Structure 1
Amino acid sequence: MSTTSAFTPTTAGRTRLRNRLVMSSMTRSRATADGRATAETAEYYRQRAGAGLLVTEATQISPRAQSYPTTPGIHTAEHAASWEQVVEAVHGAGSAVHLQLFHGGRIGDASMRGGLAAHAPSAVAAPGKTYTPAGLVDHPAPVAMTDAEIRATIREFADAARLALGAGFDGVQLHGANGYLPHQFLGRSGNTRTDDWGGTAAGRVRFTVEAVRAMADAVGPDRVSLRISPAAGLQGVDEDGTDELYGEMLSALDDDGLAFLDVVEAPGRRDLTLSLRKSWSGVFALNPHRDAEPAPPHEVVPDALAAGADLVVLGRAWLANPDLDRRIARGGPYNEADPATFYGGTAAGYLDYPLLEG
């Protein structure tokens, strides 16, 4: 498949895309202290609206869902109103934008949640440390969620989806990857439950399936996507049976009419990617991993399309290259991302990456 096929218009559910390039969700920690998007947020996304679709940074659905400082929220009317400027900026530049809905579960210190204890499938702390403004601290032991608390959290995902659509977003995405709450339900190491929310593969995928369906009931399935990271093993999530788990999950959701499935490819697991592609009859978005030397985006994109992707999701490349679509079309050159400015700070490393024509 040629590189130019990346620029063929398409659709993902109800969202029309002018090309097949997607900007991945990336935490930037530049919201206000109370979780509102800013004018700078709007400009950041506007600059990158050459993507057919932009997926926003992870956005917490409740105070308890927050894991990191100065990340945005979508659980109050004020939050929703602050996002309207972002939607207007992206739409004005001719692109589409979905809001990623997030719950950190056991990840993050209580200081991130106003003193609230972390909620998780079981009372098992995540390994390692977590960042706070006061420095790195150990992850605290979470409180095991009751059945009622699980159901309430699923309703919060639905409520957040409604707020997002009310703010003008074209769709919403469940962050079911990277060791956060939905992913925590998948791993036996952090989910020791013996009720209907654990144990078997069907029990462990139940939270993700029911959260996606609650969001779909709220705003329509063709406005909902799901991000997953099979076999990633991030933040202490040991899936213990990846093929069975995701086979169960995709089998449950494949006929639901979702906008797309967003797969973060694990290192060395193109075989798994191809298997998931065969199991999913809808739009398949791939955030590809290259095992060899890092390849430039104009090589990564056609490789992902050749592997069966309908959409190609890139992260750091969009962060450092606001005009990445044009650079891919020309075969480069590309700016390098500066990790020192990834999280928090000023416009430096946020709004000042140079364009091709300076």
Structure 2
Amino acid sequence: MSKQQPLLKSYNLSGIELSNRVVMAPMTRSRASEGNVPTDLMAKYYKQRASAGLIITEGTQISQQGVGYPWTPGIHTDGQIEGWKKITKAVHEEGGHIFAQIWHVGSVSHPIYHNGDKPVAPSAVKPEGETFTAKGMKEFVKPRALDINEIPGIVEDYANAARNAVEAGFDGVEIHGANGYLIDQFIKDGTNKRDDQYGGSIANRSRFALEVVEAVSNAVGAEKTGIRFSPVGNNYGISDSNPKEVFNYLLKQLNNFDLAYVHLMEPMGDISDLPNYPQKVTEFFRPFYNGTLITNAGFDQKSGNKAIENGTADLVAYGQLFLANPDLPERFAAHAGLNEPDPDTFYGGDEKGYTDYPFMDESEKVAAE
């Protein structure tokens, strides 16, 4: 009976046969070591969760310039690549599949990470709020607007990160275009005030994202390339005057690439007072994209099954549920109870709240049979 659940059916993702449609969403956990090198503890964490149809890693910096948080892994040095090799090997030994989320935070950073220099962004628009650093919370600073001549180098950083990810054994990469970070900052008119070919019109504001997609696809293959968007996200005060039109355009353009997938985030809060913002993101944008769609944010087992059954999405990504339940697909199959996540251990620390969440016990497994 459990195999009839849409979430537990297999799925062919650009030639990769996924055992189920339950995706582990990317989640920053801040457990990397000095030099932003992945650790053996991280290998254990991801290995525990290899029953996911697909794992998408935490955000992984494409360069030192892309860093915005402490103890987050990168994929731009030899040491980082070697660290990730242990993780991909561990996941593959368990029969799992894993994509690296490649990431540049843009303005959502602090000079503490850049030898005193300002973070970079499409425009000098200061993010709202404070940022978490190894020295406590720090107020954001106004970033430096990128010179147009710097942009091709950052595009190439994404492509190099993708090549490094494949070298490290990843099955593919997800370009982080969501949550108020660099690509999102270029796309949305609340943060992009440029008056050159990367600003102004929807086509111009989408140019950077599409150049990154093209560069990464050329580097490792479109079938190994996904991208994540948060059309209605307001992280760090980011906004857009008409995300319906912006992301309609972007998704139609992405139909030309034959990507592994597009990953869309649902609203994280109440947006009912924003008439130009779609209330149900994946459902709204589904008609405009022909390929595989992953949906994320706020789903439980019942709503995840429904999203697949009604064709809204092909795969459903779970964040905190997977954080606290390393055997989440098995629990879904058994209709078993779920562990509660501990927010105090989300970022930084050791195995507590990271690799010590319990698996189902034998009595629950027997009940499922």
* Mapped pair 1:257 → 2:258: yes
The structural deviation recorded for 1:52 is: 0.6
TM-score, structure 1 length as denominator?
0.95
Amino acid at match of 2:330: R
SS in 1 for 2:58: coil
CA distance in structure 2 between the aligned counterparts of 1:279 and 1:215, rounded to whole angstroms: 22
CA distance in 2, matches of 1:270, 1:224: 27
2:228 partner SS? strand
Counterpart contact for 2:222–2:258, Cα < 8 Å: yes
Look up the SS of the partner of 1:57 in the other structure: strand
351, 354, 357: which one aligns with 1:350: 354
1:32-71 aligned at under 5 Å gives the runs 32-71=33-72
Q: Which residue number in structure 1 is paired with residue 306 of structure 2?
A: 303
Which blocks of at least 5 consecutive residues in structure 2 are unaligned?
A: 272-277, 363-369
SS of aligned partner of 2:321: helix
Which amino acid letter does the alignment assign opposite residue 279 of structure 1?
A: F
Distance 2:161 2:111 in 1: 22
- Of 132-141 and 111-120, more deviation after overlay is shown by 111-120
Which residue number corresponds to residue 124 of structure 2?
Answer: 123
SS at match of 2:173: strand
Do 1:120 and 1:142's aligned partners in 2 also have CA atoms closer than 8 Å? yes
Q: Determine the C-alpha separation between the residues in 2 that align with 1:238 and 1:48.
A: 34
How far residue 12 of structure 1 moved from its aligned partner, in angstroms, is 1.7
Contact 1:14 1:259 in 2 (8 A): no
After the TM superposition, which of the residue ranges 302-311 and 38-47 deviates more from structure 2?
302-311
Matched, 1:11 2:15: no
Q: Deviations over 1:135-181 (max 9, x none)?
A: 21111111100112111101000000000001110000100000000
Alpha-carbon shift at residue 77 of structure 1 (Å)? 1.7
Residue number in structure 2 paired with 1:323 = 327
Corresponding position of 1:293: none
Q: How many Å separate the matches in 2 of 1:62 and 1:14? A: 30
> How far apart in 2 are the matches of 1:189 and 1:155?
25
Percent identity, aligned pairs only, is 38
1:97 aligns with 2:106: no
RMSD: 1.6
Unaligned 5+ residue runs, structure 1?
A: 291-296
**In 2: Cα distance, 1:179 partner to 1:109 partner:** 15
The answer to whether the Cα contact below 8 Å between 1:44 and 1:351 also exists between their aligned partners in 2 is yes
Output the CA distance in 2 between the equivalents of 1:48 and 1:300.
Answer: 21
Once residues 104 and 90 of structure 1 are traced to their aligned partners in structure 2, the CA distance between those partners, rounded to angstroms, is 27
Amino acid aligned to 1:102: W
Distance in 2, Cα, partners of 1:3 & 1:247: 33
In structure 2, the residue matched to 1:194 is 195
CA–CA separation in structure 1 for the residues paired with 2:4 and 2:108: 39
Correspondence 1:44-193 to 2 at 5 A: 44-193=45-194
Task: Check if 1:286 corresponds to 2:295.
Answer: yes
Number of residue pairs matched by the alignment: 352
Q: Structure 1's 114 and 89: CA in aligned 2 closer, same or farther, altered over 3 A?
A: farther
Tell me, yes or no, if structure 1 residue 275 matches structure 2 residue 284. yes
In structure 2, C-alpha distance between the alignment counterparts of 1:23 and 1:183, rounded to whole Å: 22
Deviation string for 1:257-292 (max 9, x for gaps)?
1000101111564543222111110011111436xx
Contact in 2 for aligned 1:81/1:167 (Cα 8 Å)? yes
Is the contact between residue 288 and residue 304 of structure 1 (CA under 8 Å) also seen in structure 2? no
CA deviation after TM superposition for structure 1 residue 228, in Å? 0.4
**Structure 2: how far apart are the matches of 1:114 and 1:60?**
17
Kept in 1: contact 2:130–2:140 (CA 8 A): yes
Quote the residue 2:367 is aligned against: none
Please say if residues 297 and 319 of structure 2, whose CA atoms lie closer than 8 Å, have aligned partners that are also in contact: no
8 Å Cα contact 2:266-2:280 kept in structure 1: no
Provide the rounded CA distance (Å) in 1 between the counterparts of 2:15 and 2:69: 32
| Aligned equivalents of 1:311, 1:253: Cα separation in 2 | 18
Is the Cα contact below 8 Å between 1:197 and 1:204 reproduced in 2?
A: yes
Between 158-167 and 246-255, the greater mean CA deviation after superposition:
246-255
Once the two structures are overlaid, the 10-residue window that deviates more, 221-230 or 189-198, is: 189-198
| Distance in structure 1 (CA, Å) of the matches to 2:92 and 2:281 | 35
Q: Which amino acid aligns with 1:277?
A: R
